[in-house]
Amino acid sequence: MDNTKEYAWEVVQFNGTEPAVKDDEIASEWPLTIVLNGDEFATMVCSPMDVADLLTGFLAAEGIIRFQDEITSMSVDEYKGFAYITVNTTLDDSRNDHSKRFIGSCCGKSRQFYFKSDAKTAKTVYSRLSISVEQCYKLMEELQQQSEQFMRTGGVHNAALAEPDGLLAVRTDIGRHNALDKIYGHMLRSRISVKNKLIVFSGRLSSEVLLKISKIGAGIVLSKSAPTDLALRLADDLQITVIGFARGSKMNVYTHPNRIVEANM
């Protein structure tokens, strides 16, 4: 798989009123069509790296598989932009809900939480994990330090699987949801338990993002950006601690603050 992450593009850059020609690094956007058990299933737009993680996590989030072993074969034709996957699960009900969906890299309208797969796979989280305020600040700082592709292009999102003392894995994509699917797929493929884990995230916490956190089973999500009202209502119901605007030495805890050990609430 070609792991090209960005392209050089000639731009005219202005510093004040003075123009200069330079090469700018641009994030790669790659359409990928999934053919599942011989039938076209969905087309997504993604970044062309960690594709096996992405495909595995996507199928798990959509309720097609629960375990890595349920994928019996996977191959990617990177030239044509097709992924051919065979699973040993029953697809009769799921195929009608998902077939030939287009999933854009821009987040929000391209997906809905009303799909039957969300109702089937979203779950209440009973995690007993706790974390200190100082650990939250350090985790966000660590994610920022590892966000090299964002620093070069400004066009990607980052998601990380973490323990309170540090990041375990970081995945990058032009789509917020894809970055989370890559984390989920990495966990399944590496047989990593979600126990005592949280998600550290660079993007806005929408209802779609919150539902993916629920499907992963993480009890805490930490982001440098804002949540939406629907995401917070879902988080409240699903018992997920939402931390937003984690920047420098400030952050907001929106739901279930009992997991923040310094919070006297």
User: Is 250 annotated to bind ligand?
Assistant: yes
Question: Which is it for strands 30-36 and 82-87: parallel, antiparallel or unpaired?
Answer: parallel
Phi/psi of residue 221, each to 5°? -125, 130
In angstroms, the Cα distances linking 181 to 9, 70, 91, 130, 136 are 29, 17, 20, 24, 22
User: Is 201 annotated to bind ligand?
Assistant: no
> What string of DSSP letters covers 141-172?
HHHHHT-HHHHHHS--EEEEEEETTEEEEEEE
3-state secondary structure at position 30: strand
User: Is 136 one of the annotated active-site residues of the chain?
Assistant: no
Q: How many residues does the chain have?
A: 265
Q: Residue 134 has which token pair?
A: 């100082």
Phi/psi of residue 181, each to 5°? -60, -35
User: Is 63 annotated to bind ligand?
Assistant: no
- Residue holding tokens 């050990």? 261
In angstroms, the Cα distances linking 211 to 17, 103, 138, 149 are 46, 16, 25, 26
User: Is 116 annotated to bind ligand?
Assistant: no
- What is the C-alpha to C-alpha distance for residues 178 and 81, in angstroms, rounded to an integer? 16
Q: Residue 71 has which token pair?
A: 């994928």
Q: Residue 114 has which token pair?
A: 């009303």
> What string of DSSP letters covers 200-212?
EESS-B-HHHHHH
Residue 118's Cβ-count burial label (10 Å; 0-12, 13-18, 19+) is buried
Catalytic residue numbers, as ranges: 107
- Residues annotated within the binding site are 245-250
